Structure 1
């Protein structure tokens, strides 16, 4: 078995989530701190680095980060990447009648192949701004083409 740790595992190594920008340990806070005007987010967990103005949410009910800490620029890039990518796998559900899990899995396999990374490491929450912009470009090119990539076609 490989000693290589995925980027996601590295985030929570030794229980410390490092800031993407300065490398210092991020602070775990609640949604009440991050979004005091949003009572619906009060119980959610976030990691933040105040000096870098960067943060990331956690998976529901856990302290496991959804990705890397992000500044406003990176959060905007991730949002655009998700919007472009989500349209593809949701269209696959409509077109092929497959499950959400199958459609997203096929989409991430295709995206990993296009980006030249391991499928296990292909998660928009882990990407930098440049890679997010590349995701938007790739997804737009699929939308403009008259064919569907073989990887997206496989899972039904």
Structure 2
């Protein structure tokens, strides 16, 4: 069994996450069966991996709760069109978010719903 210390938002600490596959975390999704995921056996939450890179088991970020995962997706629905449309450069938006949040911003590093709300509110103001 492969294990790795990853921060788990559900447990509130770094945990020994277990490397598993999409067959376990998404049993109803045959298209994800062979993809790697890190799972916290303490709370049952998981995070995907950068599977399209040379280090395909590198986690995308910390292990979110279901609510935080939904909040992150909501943030990306607002954030991504801003740089994809050319309104902003992606690096500029992330630099602004880094300054606003007080840590190097990446959506997958958000640990709490309060952090997600703070980021969302700031992005919404940028979009206005």
TM-score, shorter chain, exceeding 0.5: yes
**What is the aligned partner in structure 2 of residue 11 from structure 1?**
none
Matches within 5 A, 1:6-155: 16-20=4-8, 21=11, 23-61=14-52, 62-91=56-85, 93=86, 95=87, 103-117=89-103, 121-128=104-111, 129-144=113-128
Please tell me the root mean square deviation across aligned C-alpha atoms, in Å.
Answer: 1.9
Instruction: Kindly state the Cα deviation for residue 49 of structure 1 after the two structures are TM-superposed.
Output: 1.3
Greater shift in the superposed pair: 62-71 or 43-52? 43-52
Gaps of 5+ in 2: none
8 Å CA contact 2:49–2:58 kept in 1: the answer is: yes
Q: Larger helix proportion, structure 1 or 2?
A: 1
User: For residues 90 and 138 of structure 1, what CA distance do their matches in structure 2 show?
Assistant: 18
CA displacement 1:33-62 (0-9 Å, x = unmatched): 111211111111101113313110000151
- Of Structure 1 and Structure 2, the greater strand share is in 2
CA distance, structure 2, for counterparts of residue 42 and residue 134 of structure 1: 34
List per-residue Cα deviations over 1:57-76 (Å, max 9, x = no partner). Answer: 00015110001001111111
CA deviation map 1:82-109 (0-9, x unaligned): 2221122123x2x47xxxxxx2212111
- 1:29 is displaced (CA, Å) by 0.4
Compute the TM-score of the two structures, normalised by the length of structure 2. 0.81
Indicate the structure (1 or 2) with the bigger Cα radius of gyration.
1
